[in-house]
Amino acid sequence: MYYDAIENRHNLKHDPFKALVTPRPIGWISSLSSDGVLNLAPYSFFNAVSDKPHYVMFVSSGRKDSIYNVEDTGEFTCSLSTWDTLDGMNISSATVPADADEFQLAGLETSPSNFVAPPRVKNAPAALECKLWRTLEMPDVETGSESGHFVVFGQVVGIYIDDAYIKDGMVDTGAMRPIARMGYMDYTVVNPDTVFTLNRPVVAEDGTVSNTSAEKWDGTYA
Q: For residue 215, give Cα distances in angstroms to 12, 23, 180, 186.
A: 41, 24, 25, 31
Alpha-helix runs per DSSP H in the chain = 17-20, 65-73, 86-91, 102-105, 173-176
Q: Measuring CA to CA, which residue among 99, 91, 77, 87 is closest to residue 28?
A: 77
Contact between residue 29 and residue 71 where contact means Cβ atoms under 8 Å apart = no
Cα atoms in the 13 Å half-sphere on the side-chain side of 63 = 15
Residue 33 resides in a domain: yes
- Beta-sheet strands, E only, within the chain: 24-25, 27-32, 38-43, 46-51, 54-61, 75-80, 110-111, 120-121, 126-137, 149-161, 166-167, 170-171, 179-181, 187-189, 202-203, 209-210
Residue 6 resides in a domain: no
Q: Measuring CA to CA, which residue among 197, 198, 190, 192 is closest to residue 25?
A: 190
pLDDT in tens, the chain (222 residues): 998 888 889 999 999 999 999 999 999 999 999 999 999 999 999 999 999 999 999 999 888 999 999 999 999 999 999 999 999 999 999 999 888 999 999 999 999 999 999 999 999 999 999 999 999 988 775 666 666 889 999 999 999 999 999 999 999 999 999 999 999 999 999 999 999 888 888 888 888 887 766 667 767 775
CATH number at residue 130: 2.30.110.10
For residue 5, which phi and psi values (nearest 5 degrees)?
-75, -20
Residue 58 resides in a domain: yes
Residue 3 resides in a domain: no
SS3 190: coil
Over the stretch 28-68, which tens digit does the pLDDT of each residue have? 999 999 999 999 999 999 999 999 999 999 999 888 999 99
Residue 123 resides in a domain: yes
Gap between the Cα atoms of 207 and 121, Å rounded = 50
Residue 61 resides in a domain: yes
SS3 17: helix
Mean pLDDT of the chain: 91
Residue 9 resides in a domain: no
Domain count, the chain: 1
**pTM, two decimal places:** 0.91
Residue 32 resides in a domain: yes
- For 85, the domain range is 17-196
